[in-house]
A = this chain, B = another copy of it.
Amino acid sequence: MKGEKNDTESTSIVEGSAIDDISIDCVIFGFNDGILEVLLVQHGEGDSKGEWGLPGGWIKKDESIDNAASRLLEELTGLDNVFLEQLKVFGDPNRVSFRRVLTIGYYALIKREEDKLKASLVLTDAKWFKIKNIPNLIFDHNEIIDYSLKHLRNRVRQAPIGFNLLPEKFTLLQLMKLYEEILDIEMDKSNFRRKILHMKLLKPLDERQKDVSHRAAKLYQFDQEIYDILTQKGFNFEF
């Protein structure tokens, strides 16, 4: 298609853009030990061999770009049904040398303790990096991570998506620590409890923490159905 392009200013159907290719790169967030982390992979080719970068790939002929991102994510982590959203396109002409390659940024929120994930990652050269300690990455991947973090900070305050980083069952303090880490602020335990419980988004379980050397906390679960009903009624999540 590229070869057929005519360079006149006509509006012929074969006119097109001067783009060589377009890829997908995904920022995969995980939450471990109270720390927000990102999953990176080692590059295996060319000048950048051995350097770290975002996991990514190419779009196939008959899949939507969301499906492509979701497929790439599953190929790496073994997980499906994961929270995954598009960020935007990164398209600086010099982001990759020699070729003009755009990339569509995605970000995913995953539960670190899933068995499938652990099994899948031992097979790869992927590694978790603390968000506050990201090395120099290939291409513009540092910029993509910076952008994704800003975006995450916005989204996490406007929609109940943080839960995707926690186990199915979690305590209120775990949730608060998650917010503190993502937003890089300190919160008041009492006020946080009141606010989140008042929203009635969480289903309290008849279960408590186990194996902790202090009073065991009650476990809660996020209930998407409840949230959908509340949203229809005009409820607006906000933190």
Residues of A with Cβ closer than 8 Å to B? 1-3, 11-13, 15-23, 44-46, 58-66, 68, 86-89, 91-93, 99-100, 102, 104, 154, 158
Give A88 to B64 CA distance when docked, in angstroms.
14
Contact between chains at A63 and B21 (CB < 8 Å)? no
Q: A3-B3, A91-B64, A91-B65 known; A59 and B20 CB under 8 Å?
A: no
Are B45's CB and A65's CB within 8 A? no
Q: Which 7 A-B pairs have the closest CB atoms?
A: A65-B91, A18-B61, A17-B58, A17-B59, A16-B21, A1-B20, A86-B88
**Is A13 in contact with B91, judged by CB distance below 8 angstroms?**
no
13 residue pairs bridging A and B, Cβ less than 8 Å apart? A1-B20, A1-B21, A1-B99, A2-B2, A13-B46, A17-B23, A17-B58, A18-B58, A19-B59, A22-B22, A64-B92, A89-B89, A89-B104
Residues of B within 8 A of A158 (CB): 154
Write the chain B residue with the least CB distance to A65.
B91
Contact A21 B21, beta carbon cutoff 8 Å: no
Q: Is the CB of A88 within 8 A of B88?
A: yes
